[in-house]
Amino acid sequence: MSALLERDPRRLFAAVLSLLEAKGMLSEADLAERIALTDAATPGQGARMVARAWVDPTYRALMLADGTRAAEALGIPMRGAPPLGVLENRPGLHHLVVCTLCSCYPRAVLGYPPFWFKSAAYRARAVRDPRGLIAEWGTVLPAGTEIVVVDSTADYRWMVLPLRPAGSEGLDEAALTALVREGDMIGVTVPAFGR
């Protein structure tokens, strides 16, 4: 029987799911719900978090202390997801997120990872030459800015809280959300106002 399961991953999956259901640990409905939540996640959810942090100091403090709770405070479901850490960019400090081993990504808040995030070229360049890598995205940081590369793992996911762009002071939260791109929350790009 085990040789048959090894050759047919669908049967193996069904057997494991059956065992988990029998132990009351997971149901097929739970699994379907989690898949639906992951499929519905988009970078717009993370952009809402960023925009809220830009206008609400209390939320910003929560986001930096506990990204998971901050996401849940905006109605973003995090049940079953690894903890979310948030890295704050500041003048003189810029963060770049990578997963050096595979493609660990904060899917609950950013959706599925872009193809380039999973590529061996991105993963290697992010560690070896982060300044050159982000320059290829058109991101040129002020001289003297330190770049810190942070590795997402299976146990902990990361996203970036980018600097609020100059000139955006009069914008409301919805308009600020529209400024934030997926790359801004990974660190390959930075938000800009009036592009």
pLDDT one-digit tens code per residue, 87-118: 999 999 999 999 998 889 999 999 999 999 99
Catalytic residue of the set 2, 103, 152, 168: 103
What pairs with residue 146 in β-bridges? 93
- The model carries a pTM of 0.85
**Where in the chain are all domains bearing CATH 3.90.330.10?**
42-185
Tens-digit pLDDT profile for residues 12-28: 778 887 888 888 887 88
Distant-in-sequence, close-in-space partners of 72: CB < 8 Å, separation ≥ 6: 78
Instruction: Summarize the confidence of residues 109-134 as an average pLDDT.
Output: 95
Residue position matching structure tokens 């993963």: 123
* pLDDT score of 30: 77
Assess whether 27 carries a catalytic annotation. no
Assess whether 104 carries a catalytic annotation. yes
Give the 3-state secondary structure of residue 87: strand
Assess whether 119 carries a catalytic annotation. no
Residue position matching structure tokens 């989690």: 34
Catalytic residue of the set 104, 119, 152, 168: 104
Catalytic residue of the set 99, 119, 152, 168: 99
Q: Which CATH architecture has domain 42-185?
A: Alpha-Beta Complex (3.90)
Burial class (CB in 10 A: 0-12, 13-18, 19+), 97: buried
Tens-digit pLDDT profile for residues 156-188: 999 999 999 999 999 999 999 999 999 999 999
Catalytic residue of the set 2, 18, 27, 102: 102
Q: How confident is the model at residue 9 (pLDDT cuts 50, 70, 90)?
A: confident
The closest alpha carbon to 137, from 96, 92, 82, belongs to: 96
DSSP tally for the chain: helices H, then strands E: 11, 4
The closest alpha carbon to 71, from 97, 98, 95, 41, belongs to: 41
